[in-house]
Amino acid sequence: METRDHSETQHQQLPGRRAFSVEMIAADRAVEEKCTQLGNPDRPQLIKAQKLASKALGLKGAPHQVLKALCSCTRGGLVNKRVKVWPSNAWLMENTGASERNVSRAIATLIRLRLIIAKDAPGCRRFPVYEGDKIVDAYGFDLSPLILRQAEFAAIVLKREQERKERKVLDREIACRRIAVEAALNDALSYEQSDRVLALFAELAALKRQVPRRNSLKDREPVLRAMEALRERAEALVCELAKQPDDDPHDIELAGSACQNGSLLEKKLKISIENYKAAADQRAGGEACALPETVPLGAADDPPKINSPPVDQFIPLWLISEACPLIEDAGPHPQTMRGIIDAGWILRRSIGASQDAWTEGENSIGLWLTAVLAIFVYQKACDDVAAKGPPAKGSPRANPGGLFREFIRMAARGEFVLHTALKKMRQKRLK
């Protein structure tokens, strides 16, 4: 049997003026070796292979559009044991919206990536070769490499998807530990504002700057280990500050966050009335706390007394600050429960709520929830104005003070849970 040199075969298979390249010759040899594995691919199979190749190789712009157009113009079936198409540059320009130069560059890119093989006739023309009514060959593009490499592209896409899921899990664990650190440090500030607490806040800020972005491929394990160590130190500090004498024990459950089965579970902080009074009196230096000098006193009424009864459910300070960032309109960012109560008292006047409404809330749902509710209504009113514009005169939107009183009464009846409303507001803000 007569044998021919492979290089001569290549020249006979790929005539025309197009320059040969190493990639094109390698792709053609691979197709020659695996031509029996081509089967009889139709248009949906070609389009599926094109999507996998574009995703695996990161094809964008003109190369992606040209490859998509080449796969969409196939008639199905094999031509001379190959998957061949023969669209003109004018047709590709019309279906991709690219210029002729970009189409030529895209074809060169696809050849370099070994996705197609170009087989132009002399003069760079593309057309089918007939024998009677049957197409026996064609000058144009061979898409056989795309079909033969489909399993390779699928493996690349699957591996990247698994790595993406692993990064997502690590990002969630880092977020869980970050929230736990913030909650623990905010709780520590409710006892005292010492250099140890502020130093841990500085460490947290530095560590947050090292957290990789969502789509970054940077290693997340060192950040996760550092955040876990910081969480343990922060919670140990809160335990030390909250420790009670043996003759007067009080059970305190730290406010923290844990990651269990991919969901964030928030622990609730329970503080007795005696603990609350003692800690607040020690921080405030007395029963009353003066308002910040930067906030003008719009009325002659005084801030609430610290000896008001606390509520049974404590809302974490980090949740209030993240859900209601406009709390800073009341002055410097509050870091203690006393600061939250003062901020609520100041913002109560900004929403037009009377002191009588505040007193009603203090008597029905407690001082703490009343103050946080005032902050919540102020933030809600500001968000409403930013989204819908200034309210019309006489509309319900123009009376946030009435909404404040209504929320107090609904909370007293158990029809409104402030903690849940704050969580929804925070989630909406983070989207």
Q: Return the closest-CA partner of residue 19 out of 108, 140, 99.
A: 108
Residues 34 and 71 in one domain: yes
Residue 264 within any structural domain of the chain:
no
Distance CA 190, CA 340 (A): 11
Residue 194 within any structural domain of the chain:
yes
Q: Return all residues near 85 (Cβ < 8 A) that are at least 6 apart.
A: 70, 73, 74, 138, 140, 141, 143
* Number of domains comprising the chain: 3
Distance CA 410, CA 370 (A): 12
Residues 81 and 17 in one domain: yes
Residue 237 within any structural domain of the chain:
yes
Residues 77 and 123 in one domain: yes
Residue 35 within any structural domain of the chain:
yes
Q: Please check whether residue 350 is in contact with residue 295, taking contact to mean a CB–CB distance below 8 angstroms.
A: no
Residues 426 and 349 in one domain: yes
Tens digits of pLDDT across the chain (431 residues): 344 444 434 334 444 445 556 777 777 777 777 766 777 788 888 889 999 999 999 999 999 999 999 988 887 778 878 888 888 889 999 989 999 999 999 999 998 998 988 887 766 678 888 887 888 888 888 888 888 888 888 999 999 888 888 888 888 888 888 888 888 888 777 676 677 888 888 888 888 888 888 888 888 889 999 989 998 888 888 888 776 443 333 333 333 333 333 333 233 333 333 433 344 344 344 333 333 333 333 333 455 554 433 434 578 888 888 888 888 888 777 777 888 888 888 888 888 888 888 989 988 988 889 999 999 999 988 888 888 877 777 677 788 888 999 999 998 888 888 888 898 888 887 76
Q: Which residue type, as a one-letter code, is found at position 107?
A: I
Q: Look at the alpha carbons of 355, 361, 366, 371 in this order and tell me if their dihedral is positive or negative.
A: negative
Residues 115 and 46 in one domain: yes
Residues 133 and 10 in one domain: yes
pTM of the predicted protein model: 0.47
Residues 140 and 204 in one domain: no
Distance CA 287, CA 304 (A): 9
Domain range enclosing 76 = 6-148
Q: Return the closest-CA partner of residue 14 out of 26, 28, 30, 35.
A: 28
Residue 153 within any structural domain of the chain:
no
Residues 416 and 278 in one domain: yes
